[in-house]
Amino acid sequence: MARRHGLRVVLRHLYEAGTPAAKRFRYALLGLDILSVGWIALASFLPDTGLVLTVDVLLGLVLLAEFCLRIAASGVPLRTLVAPLNLADLVAILSLLLAPVLQGALGFLRVLRTLRLLHSVRLISTLRSDLPFFRRNEEATLAAAQLGVFLFVMSGLVYETQHRGNPGIRNYADALYFTVTSLTTTGYGDVTLPGTTGRLLSVVIMLAGVTLFLRLAQALFRPVKVRYPCPACGLQRHEPDAVHCKACGHILNIPDEGEA
C-alpha cells in the first residue's frame, strides 16, 4: 500500500508540478501526441503492410502505458477513467492496438489526445511561464490550435468514410483539401462526398469551421490583453499596462518582462 501511494505521489508530481523535470515530462507527452498525429497522416500514404500495422500496435502500447500512468496518478481513478475526453483517448488507443483488425478505422480519434493536452490548465501554465510568445498570444494560439485540431479530425473523418469508395479521396491530403475548401465555402466541385451522409458531413464542416474561423479572427484582431486575476473581484483580462482593475478599481501588480 505504501509503495502504491509513493508511486501515485511521483506520478502526480510529474503530471501536475511546476518543477523542471515535471515540465519536461509534459513536453515529452505533447511531443508524443504530435508524433502520433504525424504518423496518422503519413500512414494514409502507405499500404497496410505488416510494418505499418506493427508501428500502429507499438505506438498504441506506448500510449496505453501513458494512459495507465495518468489514471494511476489520479486520486479518483474510476472517475478519471470515465471522463469523456479520457474515454475518447482510450478509444483512440484501442484503434491503434486493434489496427490489424480495424485496418485503420477510427484512427483519426487519436488527435483528441492533443486537444486534451492543449486544454490542460497545467500545460497552459507551463507554456505561459516558459514561452513569452505564448504568454502574449495565448488566446490566439489556442484558437489556432483548436482550428488545426478540427481540420485534422474532420479530415480524418472524411478519409475514413470515403477513401474506400470515393476516387477523389485517396489519402489525408485529399481529405484535407476537401475539408479546407468546404470550410472556407470555396467549393471547387472537383471533390464531393456522395449520399446523404456525405452532404451532412459537408454541412458540419462548413458550420463548425466558420465558427472556429470567427473565433480565431476575433482573437487575432481584438485589443491585446493579459490574463491576470484581480485579487479583489477576480476579473481575468486587463490591458497590458493597467494599474487599476477596470471593474472594481483595485490596484494591480501585473508582472511584465521589463524593457529591453
Sign of CA pseudo-dihedral 165, 171, 175, 181: negative
Question: Is residue 199 in a domain?
Answer: no
Burial class (CB in 10 A: 0-12, 13-18, 19+), 20: exposed
Q: Which residues contact 196 (CB under 8 A, 6 or more apart)?
A: none
In a domain, residue 159? The reply is no
Question: Which residue range forms the structural domain that includes residue 119?
Answer: 1-136
Which of 29, 227, 23, 28 minimizes the C-alpha distance to 126? 23
Task: Provide the pLDDT for residue 259.
Answer: 45
For the entire predicted model, the pTM comes to 0.69
- 183 lies in a domain? no
Higher per-residue pLDDT: 109 or 180:
180
- Number of structural domains the chain divides into: 1
Task: Pick the more confident residue, 25 or 92.
Answer: 25
Residue pLDDT, tens place only, 37-73: 888 778 778 887 888 888 888 988 998 999 999 888 8
Categorize the per-residue pLDDT at 196 as very low, low, confident or very high, splitting at 50, 70 and 90: confident
- Within-domain flag for 99: yes
Q: Is residue 74 part of a domain?
A: yes
Q: Answer yes or no: is 118 within a domain.
A: yes
Residue 238 lies in a domain: no
Residue at 31 is within a domain: yes
Confidence class for position 140, pLDDT limits 50, 70, 90: confident
